[in-house]
Structure 1
Amino acid sequence: MEALATLIRSMAWTMPVGLFFAGVALLLLVMTGLQFAYPTIERKGFLPMTTTRGDRVFIGLLGAAWIHLAWLALVASPLWWASILAVLWFALVLRFG
């Protein structure tokens, strides 16, 4: 337990980092509540496999990370535009994936 506390203290906690981790924690709580209230059903969307709600969240988060990495590597515009694209990607995967 002390190792975890040392790890948390060693991180560079800025407002964006804190908001990101709080958002992920909130997303996990919401997903857990949805699973209890409305059990997930596998479905086939535009993704090449059947997915559950949790699968689509994971794929959306991975895609958002890749969008940000590609933006940093290829584009000189502010990162906020990549964040807007990532939110759109995430919504698209959740709804139609």
Structure 2
Amino acid sequence: MFEWMVWTTPVAVFFCCIALMLVFMTVWEIKSPTTLRRGWLPMETTRGDRLFIGLLVAAYINLIFIGLAGKLQEWMGLEAEPSIWISFVLSMLVLALIMRKG
């Protein structure tokens, strides 16, 4: 059923992190309801809004990295494509920044 998917370790870790964040955010919202606040995003957001925006940005970072991995290998003269862990770490840092400051 899932043969068409590329379930590498980084992909599995990425989706596990998303699942854990959703569970954590649900519990946090039940224990402490959120309020609107304004950060550097151009609108007032709740924690859930920032999580959603951050997850979209994280997904796009990973997709862009995957799309550019071959070009990065060529441009930088690498023997192999750069590790997907680079985009995973970068996307999680951007997600944390959006959650904290957005």
Shorter chain as denominator, the TM-score bin is 0.7 to 0.9
TM-score (norm. length: structure 2): 0.74
What's the C-alpha RMSD, in Å, of the aligned pairs? 1.9
Amino acid at match of 1:11: F
| Structure 2 contact 34–47 (Cα < 8 Å) conserved | yes
Secondary structure, aligned partner of 1:44: coil
- Residue among 41, 55, 61 paired with 1:67: 61
The residue number in structure 2 matching 1:83 is 88
Q: Distance in 1 between matches of 2:18 and 2:62?
A: 16
- Residue among 42, 46, 60 paired with 1:48: 42
The residue number in structure 2 matching 1:31 is 25
Q: Distance in 2 between matches of 1:21 and 1:84?
A: 13
Any unmatched runs of 5+ in structure 1? 1-9
Q: Distance in 1 between matches of 2:57 and 2:18?
A: 15
The residue number in structure 1 matching 2:78 is none
Q: Distance in 2 between matches of 1:18 and 1:85?
A: 16
Give the paired residue count.
88
User: RCO (CA 8 Å, sep 6+): is it higher in 1 or 2?
Assistant: 2
The residue number in structure 2 matching 1:5 is none
Amino acid at match of 1:57: L
Q: Distance in 2 between matches of 1:84 and 1:21?
A: 13
Higher fraction of helix: 1
Any unmatched runs of 5+ in structure 2? 74-81
- Share of identical aligned residues, percent? 43
Secondary structure, aligned partner of 2:42: coil
TM-score (norm. length: structure 1): 0.77
Higher fraction of strand: 1
